[in-house]
Amino acid sequence: MKVLNGRELADFIKERQFLTVRGMAKKPKLLIIRDSDNPVILKYVNLKKQYGEDIGVEVEDFLASNSDEIRERILAANEDDSISGIIIQLPILEREKTDELTSLIIASKDVDGLSGHGDYDSATATAINWLLAGYGVDLAGQKIALVGRGKLVGAPLLKMWTDSGFDVTMFHRGDDLSSLRDFSLIVSATGIPGLITNEMVAPGAIVVDAGTASEDGVLVGDIAEAVRERTDLSAITPRTGGVGPLTVSCLFDHVINS
């Protein structure tokens, strides 16, 4: 069984990015806007800050107190030539305002690809493409299930893969997931711990866990641990170091290009 280790692939990309940034006269800068200290959010913010430091990209971590402050910071950053990219670290506390706020980011600085009108595809969705391609998974030969239609993963992947003519079916978090056994590739990104159980995964399947949540202070994914213990799968992402590292690499590729 293959372990889809995104960290190994990210190391190669990171070296290339370091060399690229070192040769740039104007150094890129990423602005991260958040409104909470949720452990999952802090984990990813800290990963991005460390990654930026490693390759020479400045990362500003801005903690807003409310949605109005998020709005003000975005509008100011849009006009700031020193800022190459802007992201809102999701989820925000007022989730119903997510679309309104992400749409304020101008196209050239929407490095997470969440506004719907940006110059870049979703960083997480692109990272999953990179991960599968890096391990030789031919999507044209797969019957694909996407679980969760969020802005970060499910929705952009559905568009990408449908536009490419792949066989894709979307499942929402409340659907009956027993039919996942009929699929050869399962990508789950709901943030519901242990949602995908053994009974839902057929032998020989490829499983990508792109969900993250905090359970009793521990970061967990959508895939139940019993699934990871199986030896009859074709491939699966590890508990940590699967999609996440490549998402950060893709994000910084966008920042550098911007």
Is 123-239 the same fold as 10-121+245-252? yes
The CATH fold assigned to 123-239 is Rossmann fold (3.40.50)
Encode pLDDT of 124-140 as tens digits.
Answer: 999 999 999 999 999 99
Sole residue written with tokens 């490829």: 206
Looking at domain 10-121+245-252, its CATH architecture is 3-Layer(aba) Sandwich (3.40)
Domain boundaries along the sequence of the chain: 10-121+245-252, 123-239
Q: How confident is the model at residue 241 (pLDDT cuts 50, 70, 90)?
A: confident
Encode pLDDT of 224-238 as tens digits.
Answer: 999 999 999 999 999
Average pLDDT over residues 204-229: 85
Q: Is 176 left (phi over 0), alpha (psi -120 to 50) or beta?
A: beta
pLDDT the model gives residue 161: 96
Average pLDDT over residues 94-121: 92
Q: How confident is the model at residue 220 (pLDDT cuts 50, 70, 90)?
A: confident
Encode pLDDT of 47-70 as tens digits.
Answer: 899 999 999 999 999 999 999 999
Which residues face 59 on adjacent strands? 30
pLDDT the model gives residue 173: 78
Separation of alpha carbons 105 and 100, rounded Å: 10
User: What percentage of the chain carries pLDDT values higher than 90?
Assistant: 83
Q: How confident is the model at residue 143 (pLDDT cuts 50, 70, 90)?
A: very high
